[in-house]
């Protein structure tokens, strides 16, 4: 079956499925219940880190039965390289005044922790009343900067993951599950597989 106009083969080159759609759906509901409990009587700002967290955010908020506000931020620390440069660039800034607000940062995956640490400190500097982090995936084996994760969906091994919002070269975000990409897929493009899950 033909894929996109680029001639990309479908299904994608998957080594193994790590998390099924059913597992993700169940855990997202549990995370929403934890948020609902912790923010009862309040209206938190859910700040999604673009672009990978959009799918997670969309499912998460549909489980919430309380008022929430949404905003988005896009950060980068990779530049033209597949490895983190250590310097964080703000591609799209937060549009909401966070002073006095309870902010929940919604992440798809936390890897090195560099961009997340920067974002949390920046939100605090801008006067946020509280900042918590809700991440679908955590890859602690790759951590370079210590960060506190308040809500975590799943811990994943040190491999390149795609699906449920996560991509490789702009592809595979629409997969309903999370999977390990076959090494042949990124080796063909000269990338190091354990270094290319961006926005982490």
Residues identified as active-site: 111
The C-alpha atoms of residue 162 and residue 167 are separated, in whole angstroms, by: 5
- Looking up tokens 């936390």 gives 110
Task: Specify the DSSP class assigned to residue 173.
Answer: T
Contact 67, 39 (CB under 8 A): no
Chain mean position to CA 40? 24
The C-alpha atoms of residue 120 and residue 187 are separated, in whole angstroms, by: 34
Long-range contacts for 26-35 (Cβ within 8 Å, ≥24 apart)? Answer: 27/153, 27/154, 28/56, 28/59, 28/60, 28/63, 28/136, 28/153, 29/63, 31/60, 31/134, 31/151, 31/153, 32/60, 32/61, 32/63, 32/64, 33/63, 34/151, 35/60, 35/64, 35/104, 35/134, 35/151
């Amino acid at each position: 079956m033909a894929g996109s106009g680029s001639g990309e083969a479908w299904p994608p080159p998957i080594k193994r499925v790590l998390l099924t759609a059913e597992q993700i759906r169940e855990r997202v509901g549990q995370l929403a219940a934890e948020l609902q409990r912790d923010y009862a009587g309040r209206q938190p700002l859910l700040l999604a880190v673009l672009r990978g967290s959009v799918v997670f955010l969309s499912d998460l908020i549909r489980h919430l039965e309380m008022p929430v506000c949404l905003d988005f931020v896009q950060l980068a620390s990779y530049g033209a390289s597949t490895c983190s440069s250590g310097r964080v660039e703000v591609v799209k800034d937060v549009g909401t005044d966070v002073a006095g607000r309870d902010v929940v940062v919604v992440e798809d995956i936390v890897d090195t922790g560099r961009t997340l640490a920067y974002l949390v400190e920046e939100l605090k500097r801008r006067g946020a009343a509280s900042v918590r982090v809700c991440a679908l995936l955590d890859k602690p084996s790759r951590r370079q900067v210590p960060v506190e994760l308040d809500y975590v969906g799943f811990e994943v091994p040190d491999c390149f993951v795609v699906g449920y919002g996560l991509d490789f070269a702009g592809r595979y975000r629409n997969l309903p599950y999370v999977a390990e990409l076959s090494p042949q897929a990124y080796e063909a493009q000269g990338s190091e597989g354990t270094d290319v899950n961006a926005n982490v």
